[in-house]
Structure formats: structure tokens, C-alpha cells
Amino acid sequence: MLAGKRILLIVGGGIAAYKALDLIRRLRERGAAVTPVLTEAGARFVTPLSLAALAGQKVYRDLFDLTDEAEMGHIRLSRSADLIVVAPATADLMARMAAGLAGDLATTLLLATDARVMLAPAMNVRMWRHPATQRNLASLRADGVLTVGPGEGEMACGEVGPGRMAEPAEIVAAVEAALGGGPLAGRHVLVTSGPTHEPIDPVRYIANRSSGAQGAALARALADLGARVTFVTGPAAVPPPQGVAVVRIETAAEMLAAVEAALPAEAAVFAAAVADWRVAEAAAEKMKKDRSGTPPALTLVENPDILARVAGRSTGRPALVVGFAAETRDVLAHALDKRARKGCDWIVANDVSPRSGIMGGAENAVTLITGEGAEVWPRLPKDEVARRLAARIAAHLGSAG
Ligand code: CTP
């Protein structure tokens, strides 16, 4: 619920602006007060009258409207909100925000505010993928701006891909999570992710093909449900989500130390592909080829099993410890064995054989093994696997009190 929450909704200029009307309705249904701000471009897609009617409030449009300044200055308007939502956030609006411009009411409010800001980007897929937009997005995220969406699918312009504004229900869920209303509000969840790099010498290392996509999606999904997430990540190909506390490590030993430092947590999910072995003694200087042509022999030693260590703790064990089992054959049998051997509560098993296309891919086909048995999930986008798993974790922690 959003009872008593004040949301300033900036409606940018895009075909998705019509969804802002449904968004206002849904936010108000949940008890929030919504003050709409309409940009000049936004006014080409929705009328101030329909926004005002749905919001039950005056629509703010012009920076230089003296009546508005007398009633409520732009500084006050920007700070009286619990959250500023920009939906749709166009490529242009994002660029102006990232640059810190303040040429109109919307950007002035965004620059003057001390409230949290959430963007629901909406634009053509090429505009979304353009390095300039991605650069602006990265800057905005680094500034602490939250984002929801965009989704994938067919767009008004006929092209297919990411760029479609998140659905109003999704935006409402993100708003609730941001304002502390999610089912995991007040819970600390630890997530490990990505590969580890085990040095051979200062320039070489042992690694694996994990992209960190599933771990990042999971951290985001948990944060979306309101959890305080500590995200311990190795050098991954995908960036960490915003809104989580990121701890970057390289080796398994560093990951173990970071995990132990982050405890206690109510739940811990080990999505990292930790290197099982490290080189016993990494060379201090770059290793040179032997003139005789004899290759060096690397002595490997086993890394600590972080999951097993945490699951086996006698004190301070998280109420729910979830491991992943990446297997290339006999997935179920190995996963059941792994659950018993490592002492974790759940195992998320997946087939990472090259024929599955899962490692480094966008989809995952998992089997969730709990104390009650094994559930085979359909092949789903990694984001969706993450959302389902996060919901299960929330349900489990909820029922465990
Ligand atoms: N894991 C860990 N620390 C390690 C190795 C693995 O925390 N040193 C965790 C992974 O994050 C994952 C689970 O253990 O959640 C399973 O990892 P996996 O590499 O699939 O299992 P292994 O222990 O390597 O077992 P096997 O060698 O039989 O594949």
C-alpha cells in the first residue's frame, strides 16, 4: 500500500504517455497522492485535463508560471514528494537529466529535488541501445536514480526489442518497493554472483564463462521486493543492478571474506560460479616462456566452498541458504547430491552444457530443489527466473516470520 505517500509524476513526450493515466489511477487506488507534471512534449500525447481529472490535482507545466510560483515554488514542489517518477522517460529527458540541464519545469524539479527519482524509460529500441543513451543511463544510475523497465516486445514504431515502457502494474510494484512496501522490506539478503578470477601471475588468471546475468537479475528482483541486498560479485560481464550494495571481489578467498563480512542476513543466495581451484602460489612476476619449450606446471589447490561454509555455520546461519548447481549432465542427481553435501536449504539446478545455450545466454531452465522435492520450471528469461525465485524467497521468509 502507498497510503499517505506523495508522488510527483513527470510525464515526458512519448507514445507511452497514455499509460501514465492508468499509472495515476493505480497509484491513487493504493492510497498515494499523485501530482502530475507535464512536459511540453508530453502535452502532445496526453491532455492536461485528463491528467488533472485522474490525479484529482492541478497539473504543473510551466517553470515561469507565476501563479504556480506563488502557490508552490518549484523547490518546494520538488521536495514535497516521497518519490519522483518519470514515466515515460524519453531518451531526450534522460540525456538532459544526465547533463544536469534545467531548461524546463521537469528538469528543474529533477535537479532541485532531494527525493528519490525513478525512471520508466520508453523509446525506440535503437535509441535505447545507442551508446549515448546507455552512457546517460549509467550516469543516472551512478547518481542513485532508480529505473523500472524498459520491457521487450513490439513497439508502436513496429520494431521489436527493449524500449517499451514498463507496464503500469510493474511501475507500481517498483514504487512500492522503493517506498519500503515490498514483502522483503527490512530483510537483508546476500547474493553472490559472477565468476571469480584466480591469478596465475600478474597478467594471467583462471576463470569461467559465467556472465553474472542470473545473479544480477536475482539481486534486482530481491531489491524490487524491498530487500536490502548485498551483492558480492566477481568480474562479471553484466553490470550490477542499481539499488543494491555492491562489493566487488576477484578471487574466491576475497569472496568468502566479503560474504562473511556481510553477514548476518536472513537469506543468502549463492549464484556465483566460484573457481573450484586456485594456483597454489601465483607468480609475483609475469611468467616467461622456458627456452627449452617446457610448459610450466601449475599446482592447483582447492578453494574454500563459500556456500558450504555459510550453510554449515552453527551461529549466524541465514534462515534460508540457496545454492546453484551448474551441471553439464545428470543435472537432477548431481543437484540432489550437492544439496545434501553442502547443507543448503534449496538448490537451483541448471544445465550449463554448451547445447543448452544457457551459460552467457538470456534464458535459463532451472529445477528448484527444496526440502519438499524437485520442481521443474519451464525455460524462461533469466529476469523471470529471478522474479519467481525472489517471490519464493519472500514467501518462505514471510511464512518463517
Ligand atoms: N560454491 C561456492 N564456493 C565454491 C564453489 C561453489 O560458494 N568454492 C557455490 C556456488 O556458488 C553454487 C554452488 O556452490 O551455489 C555449486 O557450485 P558448483 O560449482 O556447481 O559445485 P561444485 O562445488 O563445484 O561441485 P562439483 O565440483 O561437483 O560441480
**Cβ(326) – ligand 1 distance below 6 Å:** yes
Q: What pLDDT was estimated at residue 141?
A: 83
Place of cell 542499481: 242
- Look up residue 9 and give its DSSP letter: E
In a domain, 1, yes or no: no
Q: What pLDDT was estimated at residue 7?
A: 97
31: CA distance to ligand 1 center in Å?
45
Mark whether 228 and 267 lie in a shared domain: yes
Q: What pLDDT was estimated at residue 162?
A: 84
Q: What pLDDT was estimated at residue 160?
A: 79
**Cβ(324) – ligand 1 distance below 6 Å:** yes
The domain total for the chain is: 2
In a domain, 229, yes or no: yes
Q: In 3-state terms, the chain is what percent helix, strand and coil (to 5)? A: 35, 25, 40
* CATH code where residue 72 lies: 3.40.50.1950
77: CA distance to ligand 1 center in Å?
51
Distance CA 158, CA 218 (A): 31
In a domain, 136, yes or no: yes
Catalytic-labelled residue, pool 53, 157, 237, 333: 157
**Cβ(274) – ligand 1 distance below 6 Å:** yes
**Cβ(231) – ligand 1 distance below 6 Å:** no
Q: Give yes or no for a contact between 275 and 300, defined as CB atoms under 8 angstroms apart.
A: no
Identify the domain boundary among 181, 216, 241: 181
Give pLDDT tens digits for 349-368. 988 888 887 777 788 889 99
140: CA distance to ligand 1 center in Å?
35
The closest residue, in CA terms, to atom 4 on ligand 1 is: 305
Mark whether 234 and 173 lie in a shared domain: no
Closest atom of ligand 1 relative to the 348 alpha carbon: 15
Mark whether 64 and 128 lie in a shared domain: yes
For residue 103, give every residue at least 6 positions away whose Cβ sits within 8 Å of its Cβ, in sequence order, or none. Answer: 96
**Cβ(7) – ligand 1 distance below 6 Å:** no
Q: Give yes or no for a contact between 257 and 250, defined as CB atoms under 8 angstroms apart.
A: no
Q: What pLDDT was estimated at residue 214?
A: 93
Mark whether 161 and 209 lie in a shared domain: no
Q: Give yes or no for a contact between 263 and 309, defined as CB atoms under 8 angstroms apart.
A: no
Mark whether 53 and 68 lie in a shared domain: yes
Mark whether 149 and 258 lie in a shared domain: no
Q: Looking at the whole model, is its pTM more than 0.85?
A: no
Identify the domain boundary among 138, 165, 181: 181
Mark whether 303 and 352 lie in a shared domain: yes
In a domain, 34, yes or no: yes
Mark whether 148 and 194 lie in a shared domain: no
Distance CA 148, CA 120 (A): 5
In a domain, 256, yes or no: yes
Q: What pLDDT was estimated at residue 69?
A: 61
Q: CA of 374: how far to CAs of 181, 225, 336, 348, in Å?
A: 31, 25, 9, 10
* CATH code where residue 349 lies: 3.40.50.10300
What secondary structure does DSSP assign to 311-366, as a single string? Answer: HT-SSS--SEEEEEEEESSSHHHHHHHHHHHHT-SEEEEEE-SGGGT-TTSSEE-E
How confident is the chain (401 residues) per 10-residue block, as mean pLDDT? Answer: 93 96 97 97 97 96 68 77 96 98 95 91 95 94 86 76 90 87 88 98 95 93 89 94 86 98 96 97 94 92 98 96 92 94 96 79 89 92 92 88 54
Mark whether 294 and 204 lie in a shared domain: yes
Extract the C-alpha cell encoding 289. 616462456
In a domain, 19, yes or no: yes
In a domain, 106, yes or no: yes
> Which residues partner with 398 through β-bridges?
none
The domain containing residue 84 runs over which residues? 6-181
Q: What pLDDT was estimated at residue 400?
A: 64
**Cβ(272) – ligand 1 distance below 6 Å:** yes
Identify the domain boundary among 160, 181, 202: 181
Ligand 1 probe mutation, 191, 210, 249, 276, most atoms within 8 A of CB: 276
3-state secondary structure of 101: coil
**Cβ(323) – ligand 1 distance below 6 Å:** yes
Mark whether 213 and 99 lie in a shared domain: no
Mark whether 121 and 197 lie in a shared domain: no
Mark whether 297 and 339 lie in a shared domain: yes
Known catalytic membership, residue 344: no
